[in-house]
A and B are shown apart, each in its own frame.
Chain A
Amino acid sequence: MATTLQASLDRLRATRVWKSIFRRGPAVTNRSRSQAVFGNLFLHWLPVKVREKALTVRASYYLGSISFLLFIALTVTGILLMFYYHPAVPQAYRDMKDLRFVVSNGVFLRNVHRLAAHLMVLLVFWHMFHVFYRGGYKPPHEFNWVVGVILLLLTLFLSYTGYLLPWDQLAFWAITVGSNIISAMPFVGSKMRFILLGGNVVGENALLRFYVLHVVVLPLAAFFFIGVHFWRVQKDGGLTVRSKNDGKK
Chain B
Amino acid sequence: MTEKNKIETGFASDAQKNPQRVVFVTRNTSAKVTDERGPQVMTYPHLLLREAIALQVLVVALVLVALFWDAPLEQLANPLLTPNPAKAPWYFLGLQELLHYFPPFVAGVIIPTLVVLGLIVIPYFNVNIEGAPIWERRPEQHFRRYAAVIAGLTVFLALFDAWTVLAPTLLIGGLLVWSYYAKPEQSRAAEYLRGRPLSWWLMTWFVAVAMILTLVGTFFRGPGWSWVWPWRAYGA
Contact = CB atoms under 8 A, between A and B. Distances in A.
A111 B120 CA distance: 34
A137 B67 CA distance: 38
Interface string A129-147: 1001101011111100110
A110 B203 CA distance: 35
Contact of B87 (A34, A36, A115, A177): A177
Given A93-B77, A181-B104, A51 B39 contact: yes
A51 B73 contact: no
B59 A46 contact: no
A137 B122 contact: yes
A41 to B, nearest CB: 14
A10 B52 CA distance: 22
Nearest to A72: B55
B42 A34 contact: yes
Nearest to A94: B76
A89 B78 CA distance: 11
Interface residues of A, number: 91
B39 A52 contact: yes
Interface in B1-49: 10-11, 19-20, 22, 24, 32, 34-48
Contacts of B123: 137-139, 141-142, 145-146
Interface majority SS (helix, strand, loop, mixed), chain A: helix
Given A142-B123, A184-B105, A69 B55 contact: yes
Contacts, number: 219
B75 A176 contact: no
Scoring A37, A139, A246 by chain B CB atoms within 10 A of each residue's CB, the highest score goes to A139
A89 to B, nearest CB: 8
Contacts of B71: 107, 110-111, 113-115
A160 B43 contact: no
A90 B54 contact: no
Contacts of B124: 142
Contact of B40 (A27, A51, A129, A153): A51
Contact of B88 (A62, A128, A177, A244): A177
B42 A48 contact: yes
B20 A132 contact: no
Contact of B43 (A48, A65, A118, A244): A48
Contacts of B19: 237
Given A69-B55, A108-B66, A52 B45 contact: no
16 contacts: A27-B44, A52-B38, A53-B37, A62-B50, A73-B62, A90-B77, A108-B63, A111-B69, A125-B91, A137-B123, A140-B11, A160-B89, A169-B78, A170-B74, A237-B20, A241-B38
In order of increasing CB-CB distance, the 9 nearest A-B pairs are: A184-B104, A172-B77, A142-B123, A111-B66, A114-B71, A184-B108, A173-B86, A181-B108, A169-B74
Given A51-B38, A115-B62, A202-B77, 5 more contacts: A114-B71, A137-B122, A170-B74, A177-B88, A241-B38
Interface of A: 27, 30, 33-34, 36-37, 43, 46-53, 55, 62, 65-66, 69-70, 73, 89-90, 93, 96-97, 100, 107-108, 110-116, 118-119, 121, 125, 128-129, 132-133, 135, 137-142, 145-146, 149, 152-153, 156, 159-160, 163, 166-174, 176-178, 180-182, 184-186, 189, 201-202, 237-238, 241-247
